[in-house]
């Protein structure tokens, strides 16, 4: 039995991207395709019916009892709600389709078959990205006329549409790429990968990314969507761009082009990064998704981005003086929210380390800095130095330090860096032990090392007017609480003495030395095994 010949355009599309054709053929004949389109139309109908019932709430200002409807106001309300709904409709089913599709391919064993085909990973993943949510794309296309008509009636300017669609498309590409990565990392039983770390980093990034969805907009809680710059153009259609938001002393709400460039630029950077990680996860499912050379870009990028947001207006001596303290707080947040997942992502499993030992070249240092299979500690040390270096730069402009002296600033920053190094050595070392539960132990140890000082600080640290040295030392054992030992904030313990901080730093250096020697001995043992 011969199947029906394909239309020429579809045949050509299939020659260019067989994966896309396979997805289209599999899904466009599917009943679920018709159901999705039906649901889109029925959804629009229900939405409009709901809003028609609300017409009486939008009267023109008049003294009579039956005032005529204020259509512009009604259309504005409908448009505002459509603006919030559109991301929901795209993101949630799309993320679900993509992650479950790839997990299903992995379970069936067909993903390996795709890996062995001569098509590039880019070609196959692009086919997935465009093909798997195809029914959804159609559903959204059917929704667009309603959005445009309502927007025109609400007198939304064309630039608002351009801005809105650019950000919607950008964030959709970003989230869908991330979904592919999550789908590819679905094999949680994989031994040759630090799954805990990967899930943690993905979970964290996913949580951030999901912030694009304005889940709690009516409660006034800020989400990332609040920062979407289309609302600079016309704030009537959203719940507000943050007027006070600055980046390197520039008020973003006053610079629509800058804010759009920043938003879309960051989306593009993060999408590129995830796209590279996704391709790598596809080509080599055993490898760490994040490679060292990516981390050398990621750390300076995130550090500069975060510093930008604390450089607030007005640009004067006072704001520069406050910068030191805020940068240390950023250092603390950064150590836990960015550096820790990167430590987990770059640390190599016992198997990968063994493979590295068996095949390492003579250029050991080159290998440790750039090699994908070498232990992650050298790369983490480089990243820490970059973080400290970049965080120090803005403080150099502070010519009149008053609250935080340069020595104290440097000490606290060094303490934050040394704590990250301790986390890295602890985690990497634990991943190399013989125990079959090494990954669990490594995760527990890392979270213990991060969480315990925090917990003790909360229990004993605050509200004490005369803290003991031990208490100060506990505060200095967490990157997050370390800045508070400087005592530049109201209601906190008096500033720590320089000597005390030096003692703590010396103690941390001794721990680093011990853990480093232990790691070396573990590597030698592995070499002999």
Partner 1 sequence: MLLRTVALTKQFDRHLAIDAVNLEIRQGEVYGLIGPNGAGKTTLLRLLALADEPTSGSIFLGDDRLRYGANAPQQKRRLGFLPDDYPLYDDLTVRDYLDYVARLYRLKNPERSHRIQEVLALVQLESKQGALINTLSRGMRQRLSLAQSVLHQPSLLLMDEPVSGLDPLARSQFRTIVKQLQAEGMTIVISSHILSDLEDFCSSVGIMEQGRLVESAVLSELYDRLSCQHLIISVVSNVERLAQFLGRHSSISQIENGPQPNTLRALFTGTTLERSELLRSAIALEIPITDFHVTQENLESIFLKMDYQRTA
* Helices 134-153 and 158-184: angle between axes, nearest 10 degrees: 160
Nearer to partner 1, 1 or 64 (CB): 1
Identified binder of partner 1 from the candidate list 355, 367, 487, 511, rule CB under 8 A: 355
Which range binds partner 1 by CB under 8 A, 17-25, 207-215, 246-254, 266-274? 17-25
**SS3 sequence of 216-284:** CHHHCCCCHHHHCCHHHHCHHHCCCCCCCCEECCEEHHHCHHHHHHHHHHHHHHHHHHHHHHHHHHHHC
Distance, CA of 477 to CA of 326 (rounded, Å): 19
- Tell me if 289 sits within 8 A of 309, measured CB to CB: no
Which range binds partner 1 by CB under 8 A, 177-185, 252-260, 355-363, 394-402? 355-363
Identified binder of partner 1 from the candidate list 39, 130, 245, 354, rule CB under 8 A: 354
Decide if residue 11 touches partner 1 (CB under 8 A): yes
The residues in 140-199 that bind partner 1, with binding defined as CB under 8 A, are 191
Shortest Å, Cβ 290 to partner 1? 16
Supply the DSSP string of 363-414, one letter for each residue: -HHHHHHH-SSS-THHHHHHHHHHHHHHHHGGGGG-SS--SS-HHHHHHHHH
- Tell me if 277 sits within 8 A of 217, measured CB to CB: no
Shortest Å, Cβ 140 to partner 1? 24
Alpha helices in 284-339 (DSSP H): 292-310, 317-334
Binding mask 409-438 for partner 1 (x = CB under 8 A): -------------------------x----
Decide if residue 126 touches partner 1 (CB under 8 A): no
- Tell me if 376 sits within 8 A of 425, measured CB to CB: no
What are the residues whose beta carbons fall under 8 Å from the beta carbon of 173, sequence distance 6 or more? 267, 271
Identified binder of partner 1 from the candidate list 110, 155, 188, 261, rule CB under 8 A: 110
* Helices 350-359 and 498-528: angle between axes, nearest 10 degrees: 70
Decide if residue 518 touches partner 1 (CB under 8 A): no
Which range binds partner 1 by CB under 8 A, 118-126, 208-216, 332-340, 443-451? 118-126
Which range binds partner 1 by CB under 8 A, 230-238, 281-289, 323-331, 475-483? 281-289
Decide if residue 490 touches partner 1 (CB under 8 A): no
The residues in 19-58 that bind partner 1, with binding defined as CB under 8 A, are 19, 21-22, 25-26
- Contacting positions for partner 1 (CB under 8 A): 1-3, 11, 14-15, 18-19, 21-22, 25-26, 108-110, 112-121, 191, 283-284, 286-287, 350-351, 354-355, 358-359, 434, 529
């Amino acid at each position: 039995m011969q199947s029906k010949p394909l239309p020429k355009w579809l045949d050509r599309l299939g020659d260019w991207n067989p994966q896309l054709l396979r997805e289209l053929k599999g899904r466009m004949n599917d009943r679920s395709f018709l159901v999705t389109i039906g649901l889109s139309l029925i959804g629009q109908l229900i939405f409009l019916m709901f809003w028609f019932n609300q017409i009486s709430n939008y009267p023109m200002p008049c003294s009579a009892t039956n005032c005529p409807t204020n259509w512009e106001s009604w259309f504005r309300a409908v448009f505002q709600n459509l603006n919030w709904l559109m991301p929901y409709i795209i993101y949630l089913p799309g993320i679900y389709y993509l992650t479950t599709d790839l997990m299903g391919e992995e379970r069936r064993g067909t993903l390996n078959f795709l890996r062995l085909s001569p098509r590039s990973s880019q070609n196959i993943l692009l086919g997935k990205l465009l093909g798997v949510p195809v029914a959804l794309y159609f559903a959204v296309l059917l929704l667009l006329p309603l959005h445009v008509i309502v927007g025109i009636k609400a007198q939304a300017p064309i630039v608002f549409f351009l801005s809105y669609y650019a950000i919607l498309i950008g964030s959709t590409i970003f989230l869908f790429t991330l979904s592919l990565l999550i789908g590819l990392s679905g094999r949680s039983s994989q031994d040759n990968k630090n799954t805990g770390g990967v899930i943690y980093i993905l979970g964290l990034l996913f949580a951030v990314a999901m912030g694009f969805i304005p889940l709690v907009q009516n409660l006034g809680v800020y989400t990332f969507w609040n920062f979407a710059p289309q609302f600079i153009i016309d704030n009537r259609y959203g719940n507000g761009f943050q007027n006070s938001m600055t980046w390197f002393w520039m008020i973003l709400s006053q610079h629509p082009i800058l804010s759009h460039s920043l938003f879309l630029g960051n989306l593009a950077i993060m999408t590129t990064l995830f796209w590279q990680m996704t391709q790598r996860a596809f080509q080599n499912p055993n490898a760490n998704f994040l490679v060292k050379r990516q981390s050398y870009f990621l750390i300076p990028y995130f550090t500069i981005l975060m510093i930008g947001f604390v450089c607030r207006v007005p640009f004067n001596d006072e704001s520069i003086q406050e910068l030191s303290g805020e940068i240390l707080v950023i250092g603390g947040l950064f150590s836990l929210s960015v550096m820790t997942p990167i430590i987990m992502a770059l640390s190599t499993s016992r198997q990968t380390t063994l493979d590295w030992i068996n095949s390492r070249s003579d250029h050991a240092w080159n290998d440790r800095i750039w090699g994908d299979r070498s232990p992650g500690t050298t790369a983490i040390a480089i990243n820490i130095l970059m973080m400290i270096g970049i965080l120090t730069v803005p403080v150099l402009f502070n010519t009149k330090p008053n609250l935080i002296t340069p020595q104290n600033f440097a000490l606290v920053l060094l303490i934050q860096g040394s704590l990250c190094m301790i986390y890295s050595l602890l985690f990497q070392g634990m991943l190399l032990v013989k125990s079959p539960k090494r990954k669990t132990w490594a995760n527990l140890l890392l979270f213990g090392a991060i969480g315990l000082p925090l917990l003790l600080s909360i229990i004993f640290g605050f509200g004490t007017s005369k803290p003991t040295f031990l208490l100060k030392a506990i505060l200095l054992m967490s990157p997050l609480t370390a800045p508070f030992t400087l005592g530049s904030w109201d209601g906190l313990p008096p500033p720590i003495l320089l000597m005390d901080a030096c003692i703590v730093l010396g103690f941390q250096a001794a721990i680093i030395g011990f853990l480093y020697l232990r790691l070396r001995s573990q590597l030698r043992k592995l070499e002999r095994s």
